[in-house]
Structures are given as structure tokens and as C-alpha cells.
Amino acid sequence: MNPAPPAAGFRVTGWHVLIAVVAFFGIVIAVDMVFVVTAYRTFPGQVSATPYEDGLRHNRSVARLKAQSALGWRALAAPAQGRVEVEIVDQTGRPIRGLTLSGDLQRPATEAGRIVLDFTEVSPGRYAAPASPAPGAWDLRFTAAGPQAAPFEAERRLTWP
């Protein structure tokens, strides 16, 4: 007697591989389409409720920065023992006297602990305000105004030990 041929088991053929690859990518594309449709439906495309007014405000800001750049002033700021010092010089390096400075110190990541600064001129072109912030990084924002010039605004990152 001849032995019976072994039973044919399941074999992976090229058609099986093709169906698996097409099914895999079909599922990926379907999930991506769900994400795209959900994102499109939940974002109205409106960044601001007042885009025209925001544009006007931006244009005024650009004009103010151009006027400030035309002044040629430079500001140096540094933390000192118990105070903040700011030095403002013109394009030739001469100190600018008689300005009124106001500003604040604020942590880079939060508005908690904001310190309002009141500057006084301590020497020609050098202004100081009392401040004893906690150690670490602080953002100094200040505005300098003079009788003849447009306001000068600056922002500096200061670090207290």
C-alpha cells in the first residue's frame, strides 16, 4: 500500500500578503481621514475675533518700532544689589539724560510675582529702580519717554543669583 499524501496545510501566498498590506494601509488611511475630518470640523479657521483691529494694532506697532529704530538708541540693563539698572545711550554712545522710565519685572513663564518698577536717574543716562526679586531668570520690560523723542521700549532677560 501506498502511504497517503500528507494533508495540505495553510500556505501564505502572494495574494495573502497583498490583502494584508492593502488592509493595513487602508486602516491607517481611514484613521488619518477621521483625524483630518475631526480637526477640520473643530477648527473654524478664525484666529482672532477682531482681525481687522488686530492688523491695525500690528501696523501701529511696526510704525512705532521703525520710529524707535530711527532714534538709534541702545539700552543696557543689569541686575545690581537690591536694584535694576538701565543705561540708555544714543547712536554715538553719549548718555541720554532726563528720561522718564517705567517698567516691570516678570517671570518668563508666568505672571505670578510681577514687580512694578519706578526708575530714577542716578547718573547721566543711567537709571535705577529698587528691586529684590527671587533668584532666577526675570524679563525686564521698560519704556523710556523724553520731552523730544518718541517712547523707547525694550525688553531684556536678567538673571539674579
- For 5-36, the DSSP string reads PPPP-----HHHHHHHHHHHHHHHHHHHHHHH
User: In the prediction, which pLDDT does 7 show?
Assistant: 65
Q: Are residues 83 and 154 in the same domain?
A: yes
Nearest to 144 by CA among 152, 132, 156: 152
Position 143 in a domain: yes
Task: Give me the domain span that covers residue 25.
Answer: 12-43
Is pTM, for the whole model, over 0.85? no
Burial code of 74-109, b = ≥16 C-beta within 10 A, e = fewer? Answer: ebebebeeeebbbbbbeeeeeebeebebebbbbbee
pLDDT attached to residue 156: 93
- Could you read off the pLDDT of 11-48 as tens digits, one per residue? 999 999 999 999 999 999 999 999 999 998 888 777 88
- Residue 102 and residue 30 in one domain: no
The half-sphere exposure of 119 on its side-chain side, counting CA atoms within 13 A, is 28
Q: What local confidence, expressed as pLDDT, does residue 116 receive?
A: 94
- What's the Rg (C-alpha) of the chain? 33
Asked whether the beta carbons of 139 and 111 are under 8 A apart, the reply is no
Is 58 part of any domain?
A: no
**Do 93 and 156 reside in the same domain of the chain?**
yes
In whole angstroms, give the CA distance from residue 88 to residue 77: 9
Query: Based on the structure, what is the number of domains in the chain?
Result: 2
Those residues of the chain that have pLDDT short of 50 are none
Can you give the pLDDT at residue 17? 96
